Structure 1
Amino acid sequence: MEPDIASLAAMIADPSRAKMLTALLGGRALTATELALEADITAQTASNHLAKLLEKELLVVRKQGRHKYFQLAGEHIARLLENLMVLSHNMSSIKTGPNDPSLKVSRVCYDHMAGEVAVALYDSLLKQGFILDNIDHCTLSPAGERFFISLGADLTTITTKSRPICRPCLDWSERRSHLAGTLGQWILNDALQKGWAERDLVTRAIHFSPRGKRAFFNCYAIV
């Protein structure tokens, strides 16, 4: 049986479902009510859309007490949505990138960092030989392993069979790669835990403090 591309495309193409999926790109779990507000639709309409998205395995639902929380089914769904954003902008004469300047600078892409800062980070890691880029995939070099261990990363913990430790992710605003994978997730979490940056839970923006930005750039030798 051939893959049903048309059915999947139609599922994502609906404007309300597209808004709901985009709202989940930040990696947070949201309730049906919150997603209805994001899509500007009624709760009943949102419930119908969510049932279809669950059926197509684009979303997963987590139950906690009486509440249900919806999330993207995985990083592969986030990657699909980011790639569709790139294509939609390439087919349009509209200026590329998000309208909110802070999103263009730095934002959350599922569980890792995207935007200008993330692309500059990827370039710096390449320049220093910490990651090796092979167009559609990248690898962590021995020098990179030593570097991240020195920063406190437990590579045995962040290395999993289900996800690559590092992977290039095409940035839809910059049209160049930023770092995804479990290492990309670790870098974002580390910056947040050190207080260098804060997440805007509403817009997905990542806001660096002046001191935090200097520390982050110095840590990764970003020019």
Structure 2
Amino acid sequence: MNDAISPSRYQLAEIGALLAEPARAAMLLALIDGTMRPAGELARVAGVGAATGSAHLKRLLEGGLLAVHEQGRHRYYRLANDDVAALIEALALPRTRPVLPDPSGGDRPLRMARTCYRHLAGLLGVGLCDALLQRGFVQAASEGMRLHDEGAQALVAAGLDAVRVEALLPLAGRGCLDWTERRLHLGGPLGVSLTEVMLDAGWLRRRSGSRALQPSDDGLRRLIALGVPWESRH
């Protein structure tokens, strides 16, 4: 996918053909959390054999949806960039707003908070994006969303490391359409790095075997202090 060139109808049709195969779609969804995975693992996720999996991965590489990292004799696959992740999330958007199931439902943690190509998504991600924009901590610029000095000071006052927060200032973010909330969360390099800082600070915790995230009690208090809406019934 080339940002400098608008896709032709033939390129768009090729992307559609790549996504229309369930095995390839499963591989892409497995990588939407920003991880890198070997071919064998992706083949198992897709429910296909090694040879078929390799053929699917080759198609995805040639189509520009995947990139590969070589380390010695090993090859690890990842999504080509966050534009691909945004495309996958947008295509997964339901036609109508989903009805939240019983709290014991398996998709509740994903709707509450999850990673979308390494940045915070879900109800918590949308709430954080809303709070940062409404308070003027993050503002839209020609090159994307930028963290302002006042926003950096607020993040440090809330408990994040000052050096790590200062490193966020040059980074550009982007609005990413959230597939469960149908509103924007903060993506791009700024969104990814801010999520990493919150994870390292213990505000968020990863759930084993899932891209769902769990806010710690302390982290939730600090996020609420920043203006993130959150009620106990969530």
TM-score (structure 1 length as normaliser): 0.84
Aligned mates of 1:61, 1:201 — CA distance in 2: 25
Residue of structure 1 in register with 2:227 after alignment: 221
The correspondence for 1:61, drawn from 52, 60, 68, is 68
CA RMSD of aligned residues (A): 2.8
Structure 1 residues 53 and 31 mapped into 2: Cα distance closer, same or farther (>3 Å)?
same
Residue of structure 2 in register with 1:144 after alignment: 151
Residue of structure 1 in register with 2:232 after alignment: none
Aligned partner of residue 8 in structure 1, secondary structure? helix
Q: Structure 1 regions of 5+ residues with no counterpart?
A: none
**Residue 93 (structure 1) shift:** 8.8
Q: Give the structure with the larger helix fraction.
A: 1
Residue of structure 2 in register with 1:52 after alignment: 59
TM-score (structure 2 length as normaliser): 0.80
Q: Does 1:190 align with 2:197?
A: yes
Structure 1 residues 210 and 96 mapped into 2: Cα distance closer, same or farther (>3 Å)?
closer
Structure 1 residues 147 and 210 mapped into 2: Cα distance closer, same or farther (>3 Å)?
closer
Q: Does 1:212 align with 2:219?
A: yes
Identity of aligned residues (%): 36
Q: Structure 2 regions of 5+ residues with no counterpart?
A: 230-234
Runs (4 or more) in structure 1 with deviation over 4 Å come to 92-99, 148-151, 153-160
**Residue 36 (structure 1) shift:** 1.2
- Which segment is superposed worse, 17-26 or 75-84? 75-84
Q: Figure out how many residues of one structure are paired with residues of the other and give that number.
A: 215
Alignment of 1:102-141 (within 5 A): 102-132=109-139, 138-141=145-148
- Which segment is superposed worse, 170-179 or 140-149? 140-149
Structure 1 residues 95 and 149 mapped into 2: Cα distance closer, same or farther (>3 Å)?
closer
Alignment of 1:63-78 (within 5 A): 63-78=70-85
Q: Is the 8 A contact 1:153 1:186 kept in 2?
A: no
Cα deviation 1:36-75 (Å, max 9, x = unaligned): 1211111111111001111112111111222211000111
